[in-house]
Amino acid sequence: MVLEGKGLSKRYPGSSRFVVSGVDFQIGEGETLGVFGESGSGKSTIGQMAAGILRPTQGQLFFQGEELIYPFKGTARKGIQILFQHPEVSFNPRIPLWDSMKEPYRFRRQPCSREDLLEMLSRYGIYEEHLGRRPGELSGGELQRLALARAMLMNPRLLILDEPTSMLDVISQAQMIALLRQVQEQEGVSYLFISHDRCLCGQFCHRLLHLEDGRLLHSHF
């Protein structure tokens, strides 16, 4: 089991309302679990707890059988990555993308070969001319593919996809979904796919969780 949540709940400071309440779920190796619901249903909060951005108020999360301790360190910090709805938040807007793509190598304390990096990025439709630009100079689809490649440079076992296609046009969305399928097939990575789009979840995910007002309504297998 890659990720397991038990009785996961979240209440923000100063509020009596739980935005997520008593949610259980499991994600297996190479599996895509979809979490869908309307805006405010708590789906992104689950993703942010799983990514280590938010600490649960109650409940537990286990990554590869070990309980997650906040803030994440070691194996969990490298092994769990997140792709945001707005990919530009993953990059420093003031520096060329080449510098941003070196950061995973520095974090892993590994040498960064220009040739190896360019060969890897070509699989994501990213080429040398893209890396000399700044984030604001790329299209949304290009930047999301680059954010995906950057996350995969950490060799994660779990990738949290928080509405990763909602800001893309129809063609870019289809390309991104095809790329995610290809990456999963080749790398065996598991996905937690968060979306308001029930139809997209049904097409892309192995199993679905339906949230409403922070509570699990249904599991679809």
Question: Kind of pairing, strands 3-11 and 66-67?
Answer: unpaired
Ranking 8-12, 29-33, 138-142 by mean pLDDT, the lowest is 138-142
Q: In what order do the strands lie in the sheet with 18-27?
A: 18-27, 3-11, 58-63, 66-67
The confidence score (pLDDT) of residue 107 equals 86
More confident residue, 33 or 220: 33
Q: Alpha-carbon distance 175 to 169, whole Å?
A: 10
**Position 57 pLDDT exceeds 60:** yes
Residue of 152, 44, 134 lying closest to 88 (CA atoms): 134
Task: Kindly state the average pLDDT of the residues 27-40.
Answer: 95
DSSP for 54-71? S--SEEEEEETTEE--SS
Backbone phi, psi, residue 215, to 5°: -115, 150
Q: Alpha-carbon distance 187 to 190, whole Å?
A: 9
Number of H helices, E strands in the chain: 8, 10
Task: Kindly state the average pLDDT of the residues 52-65.
Answer: 97
The confidence score (pLDDT) of residue 220 equals 58
Q: Is 186 exposed, middle or buried (0-12, 13-18, 19+ CB in 10 A)?
A: exposed
What is the chain's mean pLDDT, rounded? 93
Q: Alpha-carbon distance 72 to 14, whole Å?
A: 25
The confidence score (pLDDT) of residue 157 equals 98
**Position 69 pLDDT exceeds 90:** yes
Residue of 180, 217, 214, 173 lying closest to 44 (CA atoms): 214
Instruction: Give the 3-state secondary structure of residue 208.
Output: strand
**Position 32 pLDDT exceeds 70:** yes
Task: Name the percent of the chain lying above pLDDT 90.
Answer: 84
Q: How far is CA 41 from the centre of its chain?
A: 18
**Position 112 pLDDT exceeds 90:** no
pLDDT digits (tens, 9 = 90+) for 133-174: 999 999 999 999 999 999 999 999 999 999 999 889 999 999
The confidence score (pLDDT) of residue 78 equals 93
Give this prediction's pTM. 0.94
The confidence score (pLDDT) of residue 4 equals 98
The confidence score (pLDDT) of residue 218 equals 65
- Long-range (24+ apart) CB contacts under 8 A made by 105-111 are 105/153, 107/78, 107/154, 108/78, 108/154
Both tokens of 17, joined, read: 């309302």
Task: Kindly state the average pLDDT of the residues 70-92.
Answer: 93
Confidence grade of residue 114 (pLDDT, cut at 50, 70, 90) = confident
184, 191 contact by CB (below 8 A) = yes
